[in-house]
């Protein structure tokens, strides 16, 4: 698998408390948008994110964002 699986064609908009999160970059996780270890054996690895304050985050669901784990609208250009 050289391209990530598109988990969702839009962001996961979630209220997020402070803490450390592991965003799924492969698109295979059953716990989207977070990693559940499904990437094991592939070239993908989760992206560690530190959230300092409670806020609503638009986590990338298409796995093609140029802004890391955060949605940048890339899903609107996917075929």
Cβ atoms of 67 and 42 within 8 Å: the answer is: no
Cis bond upstream, residue 77 (ω within 30): no
Residue 20 β-bridge partners: 50
- Model-level pTM? 0.94
Distance, CA of 54 to CA of 75 (rounded, Å): 25
79 pLDDT higher than 90: no
How large is the greatest C-alpha to C-alpha distance in the chain, in angstroms? 35
Kindly report the backbone phi and psi dihedral angles of residue 74, in degrees, each rounded to the nearest multiple of 5, phi listed first.
-55, -25
pLDDT at 1: 58
74 pLDDT higher than 70: yes
């Amino acid at each position: 698998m050289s391209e990530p699986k598109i988990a969702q064609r839009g962001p996961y908009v979630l209220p997020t408390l402070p803490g450390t999160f592991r965003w799924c970059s492969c698109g295979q996780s059953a716990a989207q948008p977070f990693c559940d270890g499904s990437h094991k054996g592939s070239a993908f690895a989760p992206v560690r994110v530190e959230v300092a304050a409670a806020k609503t985050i638009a986590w990338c669901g298409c796995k093609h964002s140029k802004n890391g784990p955060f949605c940048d609208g890339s899903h609107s250009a996917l075929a």
